[in-house]
Structure 1
């Protein structure tokens, strides 16, 4: 989706051009953040789904960001990268999703062993870092979190949640 092999041939010398001139990332971080914000504020619509279906009839390919909006954060938010080959013994789950009361309720095994978690916005901004989050409770109190999509990140797992 990023045409990495062609990026270095693009003219990125213009100061207003959001491309960073590299082969693998392609865009300056401010531009990635802007696109992530647009993505968060403009969820996939029925019209976009219909257009994606119609284009497939002729092109035989689809826009993966329409079919899987969650790919945006997986691809463009480097802080959320995980090693897919690593087996996760202690899988966490968010018990009440979407979150409505400002408290994130988490369940799973060996939660007391988790040394810290991060609450990350869909644009990749770390909003909260909490040490020993499950020492006394399975709840995380969210601070200043507006409606939207967020991630709970531990050392070896990332969970998506929605705040309503």
Structure 2
């Protein structure tokens, strides 16, 4: 693709709030639940176009492009914007978000070269990530450039806040896409931490990934990336198109049929002003919207405040730190990050 056409596409997709989901793409998953839903989603995204591992570099230059500088790519775990041409052995290389050692699938297609599972990444940070379990790093953590951290002894890696949801949705995709059929691996999430030497096709920690999925909602970068990969591979990440699918498969909606017509719309975060950092006892939401429900989460995904009945004011926690606000009205949700200082 020539540079001028590439820039036009980038501008087009980044000014669109929602992904370009083909009409009828998810029809076979409509009004299904649990294992029937998972099987339907698998069949929808299965049998995609595959590429050899070396050719995926060019796809990543397009899918992970910096919308503010088309010469650069954005690196996962650090958020750095670097020259797209400075790939291995330069600044960035390719990160398998579901590590290839978790199933021992190497770089061969389809598992090893599935671009939905690949992200441009700082080479040094990629090495530190290794094949560690995704979970909160609370003690003995080494901090990395950009905000991610890890504990090599406990084999835990915590991405920076801006990448937590991205990582979760990639892992969800891999769990559904690779189910053991057609001679492929059966990849599954698990709760228990895995040793570094384990080659089992498993990845932890499922409950943490579900929490991260909610705390870091889908953004335009992911939507654009999903569209680009769909153009190449012919399949999509369902959890970017319809985030609530994760809760229908592994969360609190497992016994409910899924329908795209009931999907919750995510509103742009800049529609609500949050005066970070917050140093007052109460937060008054500066908006004309009357919210039907307000939930305040801590970093572990625990609800610590919950209000309903069309309110625009919520009491802040006494402990300083990072929190997430979930604002609901009509059939929409707004998610905001809060920084609370000592009151």
TM range (shorter): 0.5 to 0.7
Query: Counterparts of 2:142 and 2:278 in 1: how far apart (Å)?
Result: 18
**Aligned position for 1:8:** 103
SS in 1 for 2:283: strand
Q: Is the 8 A contact 2:268 2:334 kept in 1?
A: no
Q: CA RMSD in A?
A: 3.7
Listed as ranges, the gaps of 5+ residues in structure 1 are 10-25, 50-62
Q: TM-score, normalised by structure 1?
A: 0.53
Query: Counterparts of 1:78 and 1:105 in 2: how far apart (Å)?
Result: 26
**Aligned position for 1:141:** 315
Counterpart among 118, 123, 127 of residue 300 in structure 2:
123
**Alpha-carbon offset, residue 160 of structure 1:** 0.6
Listed as ranges, the gaps of 5+ residues in structure 2 are 1-94, 105-131, 150-158, 168-208, 224-264
**Aligned position for 1:14:** none
**Aligned position for 2:280:** 101
Q: TM-score, normalised by structure 2?
A: 0.28
Query: Counterparts of 1:89 and 1:147 in 2: how far apart (Å)?
Result: 26
Query: Counterparts of 2:100 and 2:268 in 1: how far apart (Å)?
Result: 38
Greater C-alpha Rg: 2
Query: Counterparts of 1:159 and 1:129 in 2: how far apart (Å)?
Result: 15
**Alpha-carbon offset, residue 145 of structure 1:** 3.9
**Distance verdict in 2 for CA 1:147–1:89, change over 3 Å:** closer
Query: Counterparts of 1:116 and 1:43 in 2: how far apart (Å)?
Result: 38
Count of residues paired in the alignment: 118
